[in-house]
Chains A and B, each alone.
Chain A
Amino acid sequence: MTDILNALILFANFVLVPATAYGAQLALGALGVTLVFGILRFSNFAHGDTMAFGTMVTILVTWWFQSMGVSIHPLPTALLALPFGILATVGMLLATDRLVYRFYRKVKAAPIVFVMSSVGVMFVMNGIVRFIIGPDDQRFADGERFIIKARDFKAATGMAEGLTIKVSQALTLGIAVIVVIALFWFLQRTRTGKSMRAFSDNEDLALLSGISPERVVMITWIIAAALATIAGTLYGLDKSFKPFTYFQLLLPIFAAAIVGGIGNPLGAIAGGFVVAFSEVTITYAYKKFLRYLLPENLEPDSLVQLLSTDYKFAVSFVILVMVLLIRPTGIFKGKVL
């Protein structure tokens, strides 16, 4: 019995808790991608670097607050800096829209032209971020680090295995829940939110109803900027900030959006968790876990790891390809790409 409990605690500590936090971060990222796709009808390859840009501004403001001794201990100072990061990113995306995408909307360019120009935007943002903050790892988390420490957990329960829950993980989940509720409330209940759904559903009829496309597009970028900055900052608090990592996040984020059904917000959330749990469960080494559960003579010698963590992006890639082959509309029937 203790063995089973220990196995479960081990699993919770290394799979359940981290994957839940990671899933929430991917879900927030995928929500931004899916909203832009639903309204502007293209896959925004610059979303990962938008996350990096927003996080960078948040970090810079965090450092500034820290240098002035501003703190909201035990919470990380970054939370206080987050609104500034969001504001800067909103400005950045609106400027990008004005300078790049609006022109292609005016000439009614094909979706692939939008995608390619978003790749260009991605490179520019990537350059800006590296130029300002550098390509290296940055740590900006402060405040209390743990809610539950492994050692305290062991002492309290008397188990061999410990459970760790970081503040950043709890914050991620809590903020993600609030953001998602706010977003759905906005989309389902407000006149502007409904007009965005109407525009996404049937652009011509939306025009006939007097819904202004430029306004819908503007609000979409504002929301995408907020979602990207929040997702990026939470990811950075949980792990660390490195521009290249954020570029790489594009793959699991797109996998999440497409698995759930691109253009469908509920799908983006489900997809985020599907991808996160697949990645973590497939790259976890089950050796110790199985030692608790199996009789001694069956104990595994190897790590029992399906895939090395170095290959974790392969998981997203395989999910992406499988979904596109088997069910291109995704779980929740989004638009076919």
Chain B
Amino acid sequence: MSFLSGENMTGGYGAADILHDCTIAVEKGEIAVIVGPNGAGKSTAMKAVFGMLSIHTGRVVLDGTDISGLSPQDRVKAGMGFVPQTNNVFTSLTVQENLEMGAYIRTDDFSETMERVFELFPILKEKRNQQAGELSGGQRQQVAVGRALMTQPKVLMLDEPTAGVSPIVMDELFDNIIEVAKTGIAILMVEQNARQALNIADKGYVLVQGRNRFTDTGEALLANPEVRKSFLGG
């Protein structure tokens, strides 16, 4: 029994199903990565796990509890954090305000959590009073991840956190993500940079047309000739 799992999910945005019997799971302190071609349904699978889209078959289980019926807001309260692929910061709010909004549902003192986020992303502390919209792409992604961390989630879901950032910034972000995982948080991540992502992944899912094509450890997928040929460019 995994800590978080979306089991046999089938569903989509309207009449046509996008996901077909898709299963994704992640353990505490581990990193699970979803890769696959554009339009494969990776983002859709993430949204399904987070309750932003209805699945008519299958279920989502968090820590042994079926949470299929919960709204996204209630899943946040249940300990899940989500960083969407696009529009994932409040551009007109300052960095600090973004983090405060991340902690909106918390009624206790969250200053310590904010300090932790600033430790993880020191540049954000420096730019705390700047509008998030003025930051570079990589810094924005840090704000987005920081915002999601403010609820102290047990699971962090990231949809292409390294989209549009330079290779150096990508490496930094991956390092940050490994650090977050080390604190015991389960990380479920979609990545375009499949090779680098599988490198740091405990578990990898290759999704094609809404179906599980390959599922294995990151290492094994990297070694699999078929995966290499079709999805990792040889």
Q: Which residues of A contact B (CB under 8 A)?
A: 191, 194-195, 197-198, 200-202, 204-211
Interface pair A208/B91, CB less than 8 Å apart: no
B90–A195 CB distance below 8 A: no
Chain A neighbourhood of B76, CB < 8 A: 208-210
Indicate if B13 sits at the interface (CB-CB under 8 A): no
A200–B93 CA distance with the chains assembled, in angstroms:
11
CB pair A206 B84 closer than 8 Å: no
Contact B87 A204 (CB under 8 A): yes
Pairs A-B, 5 closest by C-beta atoms? A210-B105, A201-B90, A198-B101, A201-B92, A209-B104
Are B77's CB and A205's CB within 8 A? no
Residue among B82, B88, B104 with the highest chain A CB neighbour number at 10 A? B104
Interface size class of B (residues with CB under 8 A): 20 to 34
Across the interface, which residues of B come within 8 angstroms of A208, CB to CB? 72-73, 76, 82, 84
Q: A206-B90, A208-B84 are in contact. List 13 more A-B contacts (CB 8 A).
A: A191-B104, A195-B101, A195-B104, A197-B93, A198-B101, A198-B104, A201-B92, A202-B89, A202-B91, A207-B73, A209-B101, A209-B104, A210-B73
What 0/1 readout, one digit per residue, does chain B (82-111) give for beta carbons within 8 Å of chain A? Answer: 101001111111000100111011000000
Within 45-92 of B, Cβ neighbours of A (below 8 Å) are at 72-73, 76-77, 82, 84, 87-92
Q: Which residue of B lies closest to A204 (CB)?
A: B87
Q: Does B20 interact with chain A (Cβ within 8 Å)?
A: no
CB of B42 within 8 Å of the partner chain: no
A204: B residues at CB distance < 8 A: 84, 87
Q: Which of B84, B89, B90, B97 has the most CB of A within 10 A?
A: B90
The smallest C-beta distance from A217 to any residue of chain B, in angstroms, reads 16
B87 and chain A: residue at smallest CB distance: A202
The answer to whether the Cβ of B147 comes within 8 Å of any Cβ in the partner chain is yes
Candidate in A206, A207, A209 with the most chain B CB atoms within 10 angstroms = A209
Looking at the complex, which one of A197, A202, A210 makes contact with B77 (CB distance below 8 Å)? A210
Q: How far is the CA of A197 from the CA of B97 in the complex (A)?
A: 10
Contacts of B90 in A (CB 8 A): 197-198, 201-202, 205-206
Please, could you name 25 A-B residue pairs with CB atoms under 8 Å apart, sorted by A? A191-B104, A194-B93, A194-B97, A195-B101, A197-B93, A198-B90, A198-B97, A201-B92, A201-B93, A202-B87, A202-B89, A202-B91, A204-B84, A205-B84, A205-B87, A207-B72, A208-B76, A208-B82, A209-B76, A209-B101, A209-B104, A210-B104, A210-B105, A210-B151, A211-B104
Residues of B within 8 A of A205 (CB): 84, 87-90
Distance in angstroms between the alpha carbons of A204 and B84 in the assembled complex: 10
> A residues within 8 A CB of B88?
205
User: Using Cβ atoms and an 8 Å threshold, which residues of chain B touch A197?
Assistant: 90, 92-93, 97
Q: Whole-angstrom distance between the alpha carbons of A197 and B84 in the complex?
A: 19
What chain B residues lie within 8 Å of A195 (beta carbons)? 101, 104
**Residue of A with least CB distance to B98:** A198
Contacts A191-B100, A194-B97, A202-B91; A209 near B84 (Cβ below 8 A): no
Q: Which residue of A lies closest to B133 (CB)?
A: A201
Contacting pair A198 B93 (CB below 8 A): yes
B104 contacts which chain A residues (CB < 8 A)? 191, 195, 198, 209-211
Kindly list chain A residues whose C-beta atoms are within 8 Å of the C-beta of B92.
197, 200-201
Knowing A204-B84, A204-B87, A205-B87 are in contact, say whether A194-B100 is a contact too (CB < 8 A).
yes
